[in-house]
Amino acid sequence: MKKNKKDSEIDFVSSSSFQKSIRKTKWKQLILYTFISIITLIVFIFCFYSGTQYLINKKIDHNTRQSLGQTKGAGISNQTTRYYYNTLNAIGETTYYKKIGNRNFVWNTERKKYPAIGRVEVLSRGSGMTEINEMDIEAQRVVRYNQLNNERIVDFYYPRVEYDYLPNELDIAVGLDKNKLIEVALSFNKPMSSNELAEILGYKNVDWLWTEQYTEKQMKEINKLDGDSLKVKNGDNASGFSVTEKYPYEENLTGDTTISGAIISGTPQDLERFQNLDIIRASVIGVTIDKY
C-alpha cells in the first residue's frame, strides 16, 4: 500500500529545532526592543533634565545680571548665594551683609525659587515678608525694624516731595557713645552728580550711594500719598551701589545717573565732619553696634 504524499512530507513547523529557533528569535527581538526602549528613555530623561536645567540657569543668570552694578538694599556691602537644584526648579539661598566701620554682619537672608517654567518666587526673608511700622514718638516718625536682628531700617527722603517732618538724626548720632559704630542715611536737597558729591563727601566713611531715578510724574504721585511714612523710600528697597576709594563714584554711574542720598557710618567722631553740610535735607539713624 502506497503512503499518502502529504503524510510523507516532513513537518518543519512542529520540529523541535524550528521551535527553538523561533524562541531564540523572539528573545533577541525582546532584548532589542528593551534595549531600544531603555536608550530612548535615557535620552528623553537626559534631554528633559538638560532642558529644565538650562531654563533654570537662564533665570538665575538673568537675575544675576539685573543685580550687577547696582545693589538692592541700602548699605549692602556683600552677598553670597548657594543654589540647590531639583529636577524642575532650584532654590537660591542668599545672605546679605552690611559693613559698619570695620565690622561685617548679616543684615538679611532670602530664599528664592527659580522654576524652569513660571515666575521666580521669594519664599522667605530673614528680615520678614511684611513691614512692621510703628510710630516712634521720640523720633517723631515711623521707624521700621529688621526682624532678623532688630536693627533700624533707614529711610530716604525724596528731594522734591513735601514732608510734615524732616528728621536730623545725624546730630543725635554724633552725640552717642564714642565706642559705638553708627549707620546714618543722608538724603540730599537735590539730585547730584558724582563729581559734585565726591568733592563734598569724599570717600572716607561713605559706604553706599542712593541712585534711585524718578520722573516728575512719579514725584507728583508720591506727593499725593497720605503721611510721611508712605512718601519715604524704605532703605531695604532702595537701589544704589557701594563706593570706596578703590572704586570711585563715577566708575559705577552711567549716563545721566544722579545721586539723591548716601549711607555713611563710623564712630560719632568720624561722623562729625558731615554735620552742617548744606546739601543734606534729612538724616536718619540705622544700625548701631558696639565697636569692640
For the ranges 70-74, 188-192, 196-200, the one whose mean pLDDT is highest = 188-192
* Alpha-carbon gap, residue 209 to 239, rounded angstroms: 8
Residue pair 279/206 in contact by the 8 Å Cβ criterion: no
User: Which pTM does this prediction carry?
Assistant: 0.79
Q: Pick 222 or 253 by higher pLDDT.
A: 222
Map residue 267 onto helix, strand or coil. Answer: coil
3's grid cell: 503512503
Give the strands of the sheet with 133-136, arranged side by side.
133-136, 141-145, 152-153
Model confidence pLDDT, tens digit, residues 78-97: 889 999 999 899 999 999 99
**Given pLDDT bands bounded at 50, 70 and 90, which one contains residue 11?**
low
108's grid cell: 538679611
* Alpha-carbon gap, residue 79 to 110, rounded angstroms: 11
Report the helix count and the strand count for the chain, using DSSP H and E: 7, 15
Q: Pick 19 or 140 by higher pLDDT.
A: 140
Map residue 154 onto helix, strand or coil. Answer: coil
Reply yes or no on whether the pLDDT at 3 is more than 70. no
**Given pLDDT bands bounded at 50, 70 and 90, which one contains residue 7?**
low
Model pLDDT, residue 135: 87
